[in-house]
Amino acid sequence: MADATLAPVFEPTPLPVRDIMPWAIFAAVIGVIAFYFTGLEQGATAVFDGSAIHEYVHDARHLLGFPCH
């Protein structure tokens, strides 16, 4: 008969909020920037001249339901 071996038991270690918070803030800032460029740039609050950014994210605007024309 073969010897039975037990697999080691791994216990998850909790992550403190102070370790996660900087990454969460960074992700939120990147998300807000992406939201701005996709939904609002080349509209009433345009920061950059021209329509290059609008054309680059044009299909994403329609996919997300933003009206643009």
Selected residue with higher pLDDT from 21 and 58: 21
Mean pLDDT of 17-28: 95
Instruction: Please give the average per-residue pLDDT across 4-27, as a whole number.
Output: 89
List of residues 6+ apart from 42 with CB closer than 8 A: 48, 51, 53, 54, 68
Mean pLDDT, all residues of the chain: 83
pLDDT given for residue 29 in this prediction: 98
Q: Give the pLDDT confidence score for residue 57 in this predicted structure.
A: 82
Please say whether the beta carbons of 29 and 36 come within 8 A.
Answer: no
How far apart CA 54 and CA 38 sit, in angstroms, is 8
Residue written as tokens 């609002």? 40
pTM over 0.75: no
37, two tokens: 């460029």
Find the mean pLDDT for residues 45-61: 79
